[in-house]
Amino acid sequence: MRKRLFYGLLFTSPAILGFIIFTLGPMIASFVLSLTDYNVFREQTAFVGLDNYIKLFSGEDDLFYKSLGITFYFVILRVPAVIIISFVIALLLNMNVKGRAVFRTIIYLPSIVPAVASAMIWMWLLNPDLGLVNSFLSTLHLPTSNWLYAEGSVIPSVVLTTLWGIGGTVIIFLAGLSGIPKQYYESIDVDGGGWYSKLRHITIPMVTPTIFFNTIMTIIGSFQVFNEAYILTQGGPNNQSLFYVYYLWRTAFRDTQMGYASALAWVLFLIILFFTFIVFKSSKSWVYYEGGERT
């Protein structure tokens, strides 16, 4: 027995050490830092207790609430959009159509494009004067937009650019859909029901575990959006796309207030934990596990 424990720990030791060095240690250090006024360019660092957190919530730092609001707005727009659109695409791909594999490849492909390149392509597509999107809209005599360059449209535009990369979510939905036994649909055929009753009574209930999983992953990812903020907008125009993690990065690495930025990081962690917890709690009432089997 002791031998097995020894070998078990030996084989897993790189991972366990990695966890301690690169996750647990920094996590504790981050919390300690958040209780100090550590600044790279100052000689002395003082323990300030909860001052950083008080400063955040008291409203003294109005950019904190601003970035929080912007990020919430982004999450609220993006999560339903990602879930609904990728579910619909997965439904279409799940039909027995010719060239299914080709469609699947085309839809997955954008999700492997490096964020910097993807941002570059979208900046050019959404260019207000010379971009393809506006020129297409004006050909159809539809109103054009300043997209990433106007305060009102910047967040929806960023959401739009990230929708190009939903291929991964689509594939996970597709895996969930293909796991539904065919016999279930036959019973609806016998009852004379159409595609709507199949969708409503079989597909959606059966795919709720996948919806649940994708929702959690999309929420966690959306709260942490950074690349798009950094490359597409640099937080602009007029701080209207000051995403939370971008603000955190700016505070830590440009303004070098690392103690304060650590407090920002912990607040983000708690927010994400809270929302994950809410979705988990709510899942009991809407996620359906067939025969208690978890997929």
Partner 1 sequence: MRTSKLTLTAGYTALLLISALFIIPFVWLVRSSLMDLSQIFIMPPEWIPSPFHWDNFYRALTIVPFGTFFTNTIVIVVSVIVGTVITSSIAAFGFSRIQWKGRDTVFGILMSSMMLPAAVTLIPSFLGWKILGFYDTYYPLIVPAYFGGGIFNIFLLRQFYLTIPRDFDEAAFVDGATYFQIYLRIILPLSRSVLIVVTLFSFLGTWNDFMGPLIYLKSDKLYTLALGLQMFQGSYTAQWDLLMAASATVVLPCVIVFLIGQRYFLEGITLTGLKG
| Residues 113-132 interacting with partner 1 (rule: CB under 8 A) | 113-117, 120-122, 124-125, 127, 130, 132
How many amino acids of this chain bind partner 1 (CB under 8 A)?
95
One character per residue 151-190, x = contact with partner 1 (rule: CB under 8 A): -------------x---xx-xx--xx-----x--x---x-
Interface residue with partner 1 among 57, 65, 195, 274 (CB under 8 A) is 195
Q: Decide: helix, strand or coil at residue 47.
A: strand
User: Residue 5, interface with partner 1 (CB under 8 A)?
Assistant: yes
* Contact partners, residue 262, CB within 8 Å, separation at least 6: 30, 31, 33, 34, 38, 52, 252
User: Residue 226, interface with partner 1 (CB under 8 A)?
Assistant: yes
Piece of 63-71, 88-96, 149-157, 285-293 that binds partner 1 (CB under 8 A) = 88-96
User: Residue 57, interface with partner 1 (CB under 8 A)?
Assistant: no
Q: Decide: helix, strand or coil at residue 192.
A: coil
Element (H, E) at 270: helix 258-286
Interface residue with partner 1 among 63, 84, 112, 278 (CB under 8 A) is 112
Amino acid at 283: S
* Contact partners, residue 3, CB within 8 Å, separation at least 6: none
- Measured N-to-C along each axis, helices 62-93 and 154-163 cross at an angle, to the nearest 10 degrees, of 40
Piece of 55-63, 65-73, 147-155, 252-260 that binds partner 1 (CB under 8 A) = 252-260
User: Residue 224, interface with partner 1 (CB under 8 A)?
Assistant: yes
Distance of alpha carbon 132 from alpha carbon 118, whole angstroms: 15
Distance of alpha carbon 225 from alpha carbon 245, whole angstroms: 7
Rg of the chain taking only CA atoms, in angstroms? 24
User: Residue 227, interface with partner 1 (CB under 8 A)?
Assistant: yes
Q: What's the angle, vertex CA 251, arms to CA 246 and CA 257, rounded to 5?
A: 155
Q: Which residues pair with 36 in a beta bridge?
A: 47
Q: Which two tokens stand for residue 42?
A: 């100052």
Nearer Cβ to partner 1, position 38 or 51? 38
CB of 215 to partner 1, least distance (A): 13
- Binding residues for partner 1 restricted to 14-43, rule: CB under 8 A: 14-19, 21-23, 25-27, 29-30, 33
Interface residue with partner 1 among 84, 273, 274, 282 (CB under 8 A) is 273
Nearer Cβ to partner 1, position 208 or 276? 276
Interface residue with partner 1 among 55, 103, 204, 239 (CB under 8 A) is 103
Element (H, E) at 214: helix 204-223
Q: What's the angle, vertex CA 143, arms to CA 140 and CA 146, rounded to 5?
A: 125
CB of 253 to partner 1, least distance (A): 7
CB of 247 to partner 1, least distance (A): 10
